[in-house]
Chain A
Amino acid sequence: MRMPKLADSFRFTRDMWSSPWMTAIGRFTALIAVFLFFAALVEDGKFYTPRNLENILRQSAVYATAALGMTMIIIAGGIDLSVGSMIALSVVTVAWILDYHYTVYGPNGREETVYLIHQWPVLLPWTALVAGVLVSVLAGFINGATVVGLRLVPFIVTLGTMGIFRGLAKGLAQEKDIYPREDTWLTRLMDPTLTSHDPRWRVWILPPGVWILIVSAVVAALILRYTKLGRYIFAIGSNEETARLCGVPVGRVKIATYTLGGLFAGLAGLMQFSFIGGIGQPTSAIAYELFVIAAVVIGGGSLMGGQGSILGSVIGALIITILYMGGQQMGWPKWVQEAVIGVIIIAAVVIDRLRQHSAT
């Protein structure tokens, strides 16, 4: 036949630079570079002690789990600003159920407070877990249904629900922190394992919460890659009109995506509950939506939709955590930490674009 056509030539160089493998390797390199930077600069090797490594994992698990749902939403061309509030709502719901109590009058007329946790010591933590996740699932569904039903821009909808869910969390907690009466295994979800003194706990190797993250990430990646839903999410984010024309049920897929976002936010809420020591704190996870969105963007997600990867987002969450903790341990003032994270977010996106442009 003939010589390869012009269009083919773009692809050759493009492929080299933006093949999934190159992309993943690039992000890993960035992660390792950031880590080595702090490992070298933080004195006495304090940065790479097992305890610190474990802390990095524990802290990033919350962001990373929420980032899984956010990745899907962003790939579908949406955004979810309410994720921090959803996490808080889950945190408070878990604590509220664990702390649920009522007053009875004993035979001699004395007031007695009865804690449900004492009556149902096995069942109640599970109920709290399920309720904590479900409340975020419902919240995500409301986000999706509003975006689709009222045909509003997701930015506006979730800006609104960010306030609504936060308000609900505060209302449920009556604007106070809830301290559940008893500690349960839910409190220990994120407890350190390797550095624990309890040999039975050490068997876990990683905190159970991190295991939840790993399993969730694998499931999310499989959904995006090997299911109809995943295909539709990419198609809608890439070109919604084409998707509609091809018979993709655009509305239903969007609702499903935001609902999944809620599911992962709920799981992140469980981790957050444990991470802050088993307290139902309605003001926790404030501004997390920004960290989570940043993690997705650093991980290669495009706010225009159609692009993003689960592995990338998890790496993004790790990078943000390392920057945050490294900055703290370097004794940087808070304002420097925040500014540095801001610069990194912009730099990551710029590098990504340069990389793609150098190919064309």
Chain B
Amino acid sequence: MEVVHIACCRVEIRIIMRDSPPRLKMVNIAKRFGTTQALNGVNVEVAAGEVHALVGENGAGKSTLMKVLAGVYRPDRGQMWLDGEPFVPHQPLDARRRGIAMIYQELSLAPHLSVMENILLGVEPARWGVIRWRQLRQQAYAALSELGLADLPLATPVQNLPPGYQQMVEIARAVVSQAKIVVLDEPTSSLTQHDVDRLFTLIRRLRERGLAVIYISHFLEEVHRISDRFTVLRDGETVGSGITSQTPIPKIVALMVGREVSELYPKRRRTRGPCILEVEGLTGTKKPIGASLRLHRGEILGIAGLVGAGRTELLRAIFGLDAVRAGHIRVGVFQGPASPGQRWRQGVGFLSEDRKREGLAVSLSIAENITLSRVDRLGPLGLVLPGREERIVTRWIERLSIRCEHLRQPTWTLSGGNQQKVALARLFFADVDVLLLDEPTRGIDVGSKAQIYRLIAEAADGSGGTSPKAVLMVSSYLPELLGLCDTIAVMFRGRLVACRPAEQWTEHSLMLAATGQNQVNLLNAP
């Protein structure tokens, strides 16, 4: 059993040599789409051998800026220099040739090819077009060991690796292809604490090799841990930059949102009502294993645990998306397993962790997504009455303050935070009593997070003018569990190992429980 180090190590700031040109210099970059100025004079300077954090709320222009760097968009104005030479990429290939490697949230590996094939994709050692497998294996192994990743299996198709490791393969590929700048876009959003530590070790190695790393993240604690310097974007402009270790997090947040965020987590104002969801010894095909829990109206029950511990599977089994092999589920007066359709009608709603693949039909409109689970409310006899739909949807768009132009616009045009609000609005529209939320704030900015916390808390309080609802929430972000939940349970290898009031937990004890430490103790706990 490996002990996870949570200890935060302060990183030394390398002295940036003023006489050599910076690795990357972007000056006065502007880009306009239609009527909106997406970027309006952005300045960024990144030195070789530094980790530079790029922070800002969703829609601040980070992704547009990175697409300009990657040659996807051409800026309307502004210049870029790479190692002192002008850099004008006309297309993504130009940027890649000059050594810019983008590692996106959506991984760009060939899922069926093995780890080593992916690492050397495009630069395979070959003679007469025939791949020399022994050399390929050696080169891939050499590249991986240099990065401290020698334990990765070389011949396994990357689709069988956990997502965190797929990302590391991608970084290894970037290094092999002689990248000078590696851009990491939200690299930790789906990682466990352990994998995050691993990734950070890898990032430090990249820095030691003299690469410049641009690190985009919403997790400011991580930004603080890993980056040397940072630049903050807001509304398409650079609003600040500096040395990370000399800037406290609240100051960065203030720069990002343009104001101080006073209260991220709303105050608890609820009383626990009757038990509305009872799960007894629930066992799925693999996970969960014998999970039992009781959820009450007016309660937010959080489930902590590592990725792969079976938290998502628990929610899916309750919701009827995955097969149940043993155990009982009772929802209010309804006993036994049910299909997702029945669950919606019984008053249970599910918010998926994977917005793009599962949570939203992104090519459908906001209205269609919100109403999809209860289309029968839009008219009699299987009809959809557009007028009624518009009235209802407009109400929810206002109540959740979803930022959009029109309720018929496709959901993919919204920012991540607003997409998540659309997915959440579906549960409110269906007027469910039990909300099953899987990573409800993944990949969204601080401002939207605060709004979503408030919505969840209001639902549980019953302060939105409805009866208090019950919330079962999975999250990998411990501060949010501690700040929002009344009760927190921990899942470890498919089992619910501990369930206690939130006040009795700390980040440290949650982490220990999630990694299987002190298990004997916890099993005896109530």
* A residues whose Cβ falls under 8 Å from a Cβ of B: 2-15, 225-232, 234-235, 238-239, 241-249, 306-307
Contacts of B35 in A (CB 8 A): 4, 9, 12
The stretch of B42-50, B173-181, B266-274, B371-379 in contact with A is B371-379
Known: A6-B33, A242-B369, A306-B364. 9 other contacts (CB 8 A): A6-B38, A6-B59, A7-B415, A228-B378, A234-B361, A235-B361, A238-B362, A239-B358, A247-B344
Residue of B at shortest CB range from A15? B409
B246: Cβ under 8 A from any A Cβ: no
Q: How many angstroms from the CA of A238 to the CA of B363 in the assembled complex?
A: 6
Among B36, B341, B343, B385, the residue within 8 A (CB) of A12 is B36
The smallest beta-carbon distance between A323 and chain B, in angstroms, is: 30
Chief secondary structure at chain B's binding surface: mixed
* B283-312 interface with A by 8 A CB criterion: none
Residue of B at shortest CB range from A19? B408
B61: Cβ under 8 A from any A Cβ: yes
Contact with A along B354-394 (1 / 0, CB 8 A): 00011111111000110111011010001111100000000
Contacts of B372 in A (CB 8 A): 231, 235, 242-243, 246, 248
Residue of A at shortest CB range from B321? A245
Q: How many angstroms from the CA of A225 to the CA of B373 in the assembled complex?
A: 17
Among B33, B63, B359, the residue within 8 A (CB) of A242 is B359
Residue of B at shortest CB range from A307? B363
The smallest beta-carbon distance between B24 and chain A, in angstroms, is: 22
Q: How many angstroms from the CA of A5 to the CA of B339 in the assembled complex?
A: 39
Query: Can you list the 10 inter-chain pairs with the closest CB atoms, starting with the nearest?
Result: A9-B36, A247-B341, A9-B33, A5-B59, A238-B361, A12-B34, A239-B361, A246-B373, A247-B344, A246-B372
CB pair A234 B368 closer than 8 Å = yes
Among B61, B357, B385, the residue within 8 A (CB) of A6 is B61
B132: Cβ under 8 A from any A Cβ: no
Chief secondary structure at chain A's binding surface: helix
Contacts of A227 in B (CB 8 A): 382-384
> A239-B358, A245-B350 known; A7 and B59 CB under 8 Å?
yes
The smallest beta-carbon distance between A58 and chain B, in angstroms, is: 34
CB pair A13 B33 closer than 8 Å = yes
Contacts of B373 in A (CB 8 A): 246-247
Contacts of A247 in B (CB 8 A): 339-345, 373
The smallest beta-carbon distance between A89 and chain B, in angstroms, is: 30
Q: How many angstroms from the CA of A243 to the CA of B341 in the assembled complex?
A: 10
Among A11, A228, A241, the residue within 8 A (CB) of B413 is A11
CB pair A306 B358 closer than 8 Å = no
The smallest beta-carbon distance between B321 and chain A, in angstroms, is: 6
Q: How many angstroms from the CA of A3 to the CA of B36 in the assembled complex?
A: 8
B414: Cβ under 8 A from any A Cβ: yes
CB pair B341 A249 closer than 8 Å = yes
| Count of A-B contacts judged by CB separation below 8 Å | 132
Q: How many angstroms from the CA of A15 to the CA of B61 in the assembled complex?
A: 21
The smallest beta-carbon distance between A233 and chain B, in angstroms, is: 11
B395: Cβ under 8 A from any A Cβ: no
CB pair B376 A228 closer than 8 Å = yes
Q: How many angstroms from the CA of A241 to the CA of B382 in the assembled complex?
A: 22
B112: Cβ under 8 A from any A Cβ: no
Q: How many angstroms from the CA of A232 to the CA of B374 in the assembled complex?
A: 11
Q: How many angstroms from the CA of A56 to the CA of B368 in the assembled complex?
A: 38
Q: List 27 A-B contacts (CB under 8 A).
A: A3-B37, A4-B35, A5-B415, A6-B38, A6-B59, A6-B63, A6-B64, A7-B59, A7-B415, A8-B403, A10-B33, A12-B405, A15-B409, A226-B384, A227-B383, A229-B382, A231-B375, A239-B362, A242-B352, A242-B369, A247-B340, A247-B342, A247-B373, A248-B341, A306-B363, A306-B364, A307-B363
Q: How many angstroms from the CA of A168 to the CA of B384 in the assembled complex?
A: 39
B235: Cβ under 8 A from any A Cβ: yes
CB pair B235 A3 closer than 8 Å = yes
CB pair B413 A10 closer than 8 Å = yes
CB pair B363 A246 closer than 8 Å = no
Identify the interface centre among A2, A227, A234, A247: most chain B CB within 10 Å of its CB.
A247
The smallest beta-carbon distance between B316 and chain A, in angstroms, is: 9
Among A2, A13, A228, A306, the residue within 8 A (CB) of B382 is A228
Q: How many angstroms from the CA of A106 to the CA of B248 in the assembled complex?
A: 108
The smallest beta-carbon distance between B436 and chain A, in angstroms, is: 11
Contacts of A9 in B (CB 8 A): 32-36, 38
> A6-B64, A7-B415, A9-B35 known; A245 and B352 CB under 8 Å?
yes
> A7-B415, A13-B33 known; A238 and B364 CB under 8 Å?
yes
Q: How many angstroms from the CA of A8 to the CA of B362 in the assembled complex?
A: 15
Contacts of A245 in B (CB 8 A): 319, 321, 340, 350, 352, 358-359
The smallest beta-carbon distance between B490 and chain A, in angstroms, is: 26
The smallest beta-carbon distance between A20 and chain B, in angstroms, is: 10
Among A4, A15, A226, A239, the residue within 8 A (CB) of B36 is A4
The smallest beta-carbon distance between B397 and chain A, in angstroms, is: 14
B493: Cβ under 8 A from any A Cβ: no
The smallest beta-carbon distance between B72 and chain A, in angstroms, is: 11
Residue of A at shortest CB range from B40? A3
Contacts of B360 in A (CB 8 A): 239, 242
Contacts of B376 in A (CB 8 A): 228
